[in-house]
Chains A and B, each alone.
Chain A
Amino acid sequence: MVDTSLSQHPRTRLSQGLLRPAVASAVLFMLVTGLAYPLATTGIAQLLFPSQARGSLVERGGHVVGSAVIGQDFREPAYFHPRPSATTGPDPANPDKSIDQPYNAALSGASNLGPTSQKLLAAVAARALAYRRENGLAAGTAVPVDAVTASASGLDPDISLANARLQIARVARTRGLSEQQLLTLVERETTPRQLGLLGEPRVNVLQLNLALDAATAHPAAAP
């Protein structure tokens, strides 16, 4: 008594007339949801928010120097340094081989190493040593965790306030600015929690370094 659907809809009728709508639905909805929808969104977005829609590009002197939301690599002591990045890229000597290439914005990547991985622990220990050496910290000083761990995207644009502060002495020394000036600069470039609540307070490294260059070029305008 339960399964009476068979008697009402004989087996031959089950898929009768379904083939054409199935095929037509695939093509039609591909056109509507796969082309019309993203293209319409693109058109409106380019009109309303042209800068963000193109990737929030940052220009200096007419040249694109990066994107405001994408991190980039800094190694010179005169700049604030970003978090470690696990992205890789093709080896210039042999394109089939991939090598470490931090902040490769063409191929996001993470270490994906688990918490008990010896490879991870060795990398963190090595980064902590290098960080202490660069910033003149005493041996054994605990280093802010974001400074020694790779981000999820490999393109994290931000560092923590703790990390930025520990780098001030080095940058100030290299640039011949006072630590107080730099502390004020870091505070000015600090992004607070969004709406006072969401996420974490942080410093965007590219924006901070741009401000730093500007302050060094025009010391009078420096804070």
Chain B
Amino acid sequence: MPIDLAQFAIVLVAMALLVAAAGKWLTRVLTGAGHGAPERWTYRLLGVDPAETMSWKRYGMALLLSNAAMMLLGYVLLRVQGMLPFDALQRPAQTPDLAFNTAASFITNTNWQSYSGESSLSNFSQMAVITFLMMASAAAGIAGCAAFIRGLSRKDSHDIGNYWVDFTRVVYRVLLPVCLVLALVYVWQGMPQTLASAVSATTLEGLKQQILTGPVASLEAIKHIGTNGGGFFGMNAAHPFENPTPLTNTLHMLAMLLIPSALTYAFGSMLMRRRQGWAFLAAFLVMFVGFLAIVYHAEQQGNPLLTVAGADQQWSTLQSGGNMEGKELRFGIAQSSLFVAVTTAATTGSVNAMHDSLTPMGGLVPLALMMMNDVFGGVGVGFINLVSFAILTVFLVGMMIGRTPEFLGKKIEAREMKLVMLAVLAHPACILGFTALAAVWPATIASLNNSGPHGFSELLYAYTSGTANNGSAFSGLNANTPFFNTTIGLAMLLGRYFTLLPMLAVAGSLAAKKAMHEGPGTLPTATPLFTGLLVFVILVVGGLTFLPALALGPIIEHLSMLAGHSF
């Protein structure tokens, strides 16, 4: 369908146009010398010295402590929700394990939700807990990434920046202004932005319909700009109030891609290696387009079992056709498939279609993208993951051709490789370990919404999403049990900090090294050849690690579906 391809193209072209502009802006924010007046007041209120230079350990400590304080504040507010204002519906406080899961989820930028937004949270909590933690985790992620890039770019230095300055500037100069403008565009398109909790309507057939409203647009803006993903409503960006038109859907996708792609540009600028930034962006794009093709094809082909049941899934000028279970008509197959790929590539976790109801190969795509965790990556962290794979590639290739592994003019030695391997291994260990535990834990069967291989996929998806800090779900799984709240909460924390902290250590360690001259023995890392190798390493490492688990879930299900089996 040419018009579908045109929709894909327009999003990618718009993203490419935004990369340079947003990248330049981000570079200025992260490297500028001056402090604006609101920033100076903030530093005074916080009691910090903006001129302090931090080692990676102190930077990491500041990030951890302030995140911990924010998570605690969020937890407390959720626990006392019943006593707080702005809720005509009097929704009660969350239970302790649920509030822990929610606070951990939002401070780690995961936005996994064990609750349904509209039935569990008051408008006050949606603002003061959810919107706040979304801003904070996005800013912390960008700050962490900025420190990481500085570590790579500096020579003989123990200074990777000042956490408070990075965090404050990202909030004031990037997130708040962009979100305010975007939120207003969203309202124009039909998203509510009000403090009223609900409106009562009498339908044309005389039924009562209670329509829940709230400050939706302001939450949606940071949800996508910050690659957060938690919905105001249970059904997330599929809910017409969260995503009223195809235009808002397109803006959601561009917003999710904005900062992750701009970071590659900022990286190139801050290192004065523009080509390296573009080489990384190319690696992103190659994998992204490949996975998009798989999910679009699978969903447009539809489900042969539905045809047997009497559904017409053929594309025509009168309908998009395809597998429409769990999809919204205004988005059809094209805008839904693109959203599936974008939300898991950018580790946002916002969904405009129910991933649980995707065809098996369609559902494999978000799983695989999260398992690789670095196609675009979430705000900040995804980029860091990509660099860890780049270092791994340099190392593997260096071994193969007998060259000393070097990356960006620094020698890669045992210490860096150990840290990189810790970061690279923590991710699959966490996903597969917890999935295995859940598969044998007695009470988990009762939480599954589907049986057969699809039930296993629900478990695998939950821990993949948690560890990759994505937050989307095969949401048939009832994850609001103490076992799931706790284990997925832990997976989110491990997945976030066991990649972020080791890679900050790598940056600190590289920053302290002398720069080497690039000689004939250096493997250039800004070439198409290296981009190809990088993609190859990511696919091979990801494939070898996860293929057995994928075979038990989506792959068996695909074969069963073709053979006409149902469960």
Residues on A facing B (Cβ under 8 Å): 1-5, 8-9, 13-15, 17-30, 32-35, 37-42, 44-46, 48-49, 52-57, 63-76, 79, 83, 103-118, 120-122, 124-125, 128-129, 132, 140-146, 148-163, 165, 191, 193-195, 197-200, 202, 206, 209-210, 213
Please pick, from A14, A65, A128, the residue contacting B204 in the complex, using a CB distance under 8 A.
A65
A-B contact pairs, 21 of them (CB 8 A): A14-B61, A21-B62, A22-B68, A28-B42, A29-B171, A33-B176, A35-B127, A48-B187, A53-B193, A63-B202, A69-B241, A105-B211, A110-B235, A112-B354, A114-B363, A115-B357, A143-B312, A145-B311, A161-B318, A162-B318, A198-B247
Does B305 lie within 8 Å of A54, measured CB to CB?
Answer: no
Does B193 lie within 8 Å of A9, measured CB to CB?
Answer: no
Most buried by A among B213, B327, B329, B566: B329
Does A64 lie within 8 Å of B567, measured CB to CB?
Answer: no
Q: Given contacts A24-B46, A107-B119, A200-B329, are A114 and B557 in contact (CB under 8 A)? A: yes
**Closest beta carbon of chain B to A204's beta carbon, Å:** 9
Q: Given contacts A26-B73, A116-B561, A200-B330, are A194 and B245 in contact (CB under 8 A)? A: yes
Does B246 lie within 8 Å of A108, measured CB to CB?
Answer: no
Q: Which residues of B contact A198 (CB under 8 A)?
A: 7, 245-247, 249-250, 335
Q: Is B239 an interface residue (CB 8 A)?
A: yes
Q: Is B531 an interface residue (CB 8 A)?
A: no
Give the distance in Å from the alpha carbon of A129 to the alpha carbon of B62 in the complex: 62
Q: Which residues of B contact A103 (CB under 8 A)?
A: 209
B window 320-340: CB within 8 A of A: 320-332, 334-335
Q: Which residues of A contact B335 (CB under 8 A)?
A: 198-200
Does A83 lie within 8 Å of B193, measured CB to CB?
Answer: no
Please pick, from A22, A105, A144, A210, the residue contacting B319 in the complex, using a CB distance under 8 A.
A144
Give the distance in Å from the alpha carbon of A34 to the alpha carbon of B560 in the complex: 48
**Closest beta carbon of chain B to A52's beta carbon, Å:** 5
**Closest beta carbon of chain A to B558's beta carbon, Å:** 9
Q: Given contacts A33-B171, A55-B194, are A76 and B218 in contact (CB under 8 A)? A: no
Q: Which residues of A contact B413 (CB under 8 A)?
A: 2
Give the distance in Å from the alpha carbon of A3 to the alpha carbon of B215 in the complex: 48
Does A155 lie within 8 Å of B240, measured CB to CB?
Answer: yes
Q: Is B190 an interface residue (CB 8 A)?
A: yes
Does B190 lie within 8 Å of A69, measured CB to CB?
Answer: yes
Q: Which residues of A contact B265 (CB under 8 A)?
A: none
Give the distance in Å from the alpha carbon of A19 to the alpha carbon of B167 in the complex: 16
Does B45 lie within 8 Å of A28, measured CB to CB?
Answer: yes
Does B320 lie within 8 Å of A160, measured CB to CB?
Answer: yes
Q: Given contacts A64-B199, A64-B201, A161-B319, are A142 and B310 in contact (CB under 8 A)? A: yes
Q: Is B70 an interface residue (CB 8 A)?
A: yes
Does A153 lie within 8 Å of B240, measured CB to CB?
Answer: yes
| Interface stretch of the complex, out of B52-60, B400-408, B428-436 | B52-60
Q: Is B132 an interface residue (CB 8 A)?
A: yes
Q: Which residues of A contact B561 (CB under 8 A)?
A: 115-116
Q: Given contacts A22-B69, A23-B69, A42-B218, are A152 and B247 in contact (CB under 8 A)? A: no
Does B118 lie within 8 Å of A107, measured CB to CB?
Answer: yes
A142-B310, A193-B246 are known contacts; what are 18 more A-B pairs with Cβ within 8 Å? A2-B513, A15-B58, A25-B46, A26-B70, A41-B193, A41-B218, A42-B215, A52-B187, A65-B201, A79-B205, A105-B211, A116-B360, A120-B357, A152-B327, A153-B238, A197-B10, A200-B331, A202-B330
Give the distance in Å from the alpha carbon of A53 to the alpha carbon of B453 in the complex: 43
